[in-house]
Amino acid sequence: MLPAPGFHHLHLNSVDPDAAIDFYARQFPTSARASWGGLPALASPNDVLVLFTRVATPPATSPQTAIWHFGWHVTDTRARLESYESRPDVRLLPLYTTEEGGSVFHPAERFNHVHLYQEEPFCAQLWYQTHLNAPVFRGRASATPVTESTCKVPRGSERSWPALEREGMFRSPTAAVVFGDVALPWYMRQGDRPLVSTRGHLYDHIALSVADLDAWVAKLRSEGVRFLEKPYELGDTRAVMIEGPSREALELVEVA
């Protein structure tokens, strides 16, 4: 079995990549400006990149795609919050809650996760396990073995908090996989409209690193995975673009 890919980069569309990179580098001081494949990038200490493509007009942020947001670990959330509150270029979004919350401390600052919505979280988890050999993120496995006949779990009827939306959010069912030290946690889509393709949106695609692109292409073609683009040159290497279970674009990048 081919080894599971690593997490390579999150690819964003931006009208001003330089300004975006400067912004993130100020907020996350252990990150650094970089470039990869001829594209401007932000480099995280755990060898994860955020790549940028310059676009002429602001990229779409709706309708909702599978990619919700990305997360970054900081070592002292209280101190960082005080710092952000003093910066005029930072807009803090309210985290709505029904009661006082605690604080979370992490051992190192780094790119940590990409949070997604899925049409069927456990079916998505099975898809990533089957086609990308992805490990299940600890604590997010189903209580019973997931199969194609059991993965469709109805969305829970109750919303809960904390949440970025005042009305709360649906948290059940939830699932996740992990690539390297970057998690992909999922909630079921929040609204009733189907998720749209990520291509051309603010969060354009997720890139995973593989050692043998040809072997992966052969595996995925034999399994009927949808290819969005045939293998192509990307900087000094090659890549291919496939589509995930909720129309999220996934790029496989060949690395030595």
Tens-digit pLDDT profile for residues 179-219: 999 999 999 999 999 999 999 999 999 999 999 999 999 99
Cα–Cα distance, 129 to 210 (Å, whole number): 15
Q: How confident is the prediction for the chain on average, in pLDDT?
A: 92
Shortest CA distance to 98 belongs to which of 21, 159, 43, 189? 159
Answer yes or no: are the C-beta atoms of 208 and 134 closer than 8 Å. Answer: no
Predicted local distance difference test score (pLDDT) of residue 95: 58
Would you state the CATH architecture of domain 6-254?
Roll (3.10)
Q: In the numeric block, which tokens belong to residue 52?
A: 């940028």
Q: Which residue has better confidence, 93 or 166?
A: 166
**pLDDT tens, residue by residue, 170-181:** 999 999 999 999
pLDDT in tens, 3-30: 999 999 999 999 999 999 999 999 999 9
Residue 87 to residues 27, 61, 92, 105, 198: CA-CA distances in angstroms?
10, 25, 10, 22, 31
